[in-house]
Amino acid sequence: MGKGEQASPAAGEGRCVLAVDVGNTSTGFGLFSADAGETDEPLGTWELTTPEKLTADEARMQVAQVLGVLARDVAEQRTLAPTRAATFAEPPLDAVLSCVVPSLTEAWSAALETACRTRPVVVGPGLKTGLRMRYSDPVEIGPDRIADVVAARATYGAPVVAVDFGTTMNIEVIDGEGAFLGGIIAPGLALGAQALSRAAARLPVIELHAPKAAIGRSTREAMQSGVVFGEVARVDGLLDRVFAELGEEAPVVLTGSGAGRLAPLVSHTAVVDKTLTLRGLHQLRLGVVRRR
């Protein structure tokens, strides 16, 4: 077992697997069936705002609350009896954690170990991903980026390009041989809008949706055009450059908080995949279990 791979019960001994994706802006949760395959959807998902600081006890409380909410959601979707639905709120079989905020990693890891009664698989340096890396220093790759790439390749094959709209806008590239070539990191949609209003005293905070026309008839519309249409133009232009370097076009997968809003505006054919990162985390956890 390599560094970063933690021990936990064998697959099939419990009910569920909890995947936790701690981002700079939001924290996503996905509850998977213990026997779910690599491309299976989670039983339920939930999202919370990521705080600047968090204790292990606070994180544990959030885990308990989220599991309770997901239990009710699963019960409603499957019309389960109350006694059957309650089992989903009990500690999962296993947990897998991705955290891009270093100061919160220890708290979340400790909270998951206590709440789930097993050491979580923490995605980071030393964890075997099953990916061939053509990145100069794989240690630098964020765990959320790894999860996106793993899930994109498993679901859509190779080559494939994943675009994740979050605090940053990340583009990840898998070549025709299934190897991770690398990617692109740029400021995200909300970050660009916040920078405008912070740096320019007379510019307001704007809602992040596309205006009716590219030429804004008000300051707010002009900002929305620059931020939203500018982001779309940047994504399209970067995809053109990626395909030129690949020597071929590839399926494009959009995920993250802005994917649904931006997909209709992007000129390249793309599919929106809301649970891509969570499925990638679940797949990485499956890889750890299989190598034991």
164 is in an annotated binding site: yes
Asked if residue 145 belongs to a known ligand binding site, the reply is yes
22 assigned ligand-binding residue:
yes
| 28 labelled ligand-binding | yes
CA–CA distance, 257 with 98 (Å, rounded to integer): 17
Q: Is 37 annotated as a binding residue?
A: no
User: Is 167 annotated as belonging to a binding site?
Assistant: yes
Residue 26 labelled as part of a binding site: yes
Cβ–Cβ under 8 Å, residues 274 and 253: no
Task: State yes or no: 241 annotated in a binding site.
Answer: no
Torsion of CA 139, 256, 148, 58, to 10 degrees: 60
Residues assigned a catalytic role: 144
Does the annotation place 25 within a ligand binding site? yes
Q: Does the annotation place 27 within a ligand binding site? A: yes
Binding-site residue set: 21-28, 135, 142-145, 164, 167, 219
Binding-site residue set for ATP: 21-28, 167
Binding-site residue set for substrate: 135, 142-145, 219
Binding-site residue set for K(+): 164
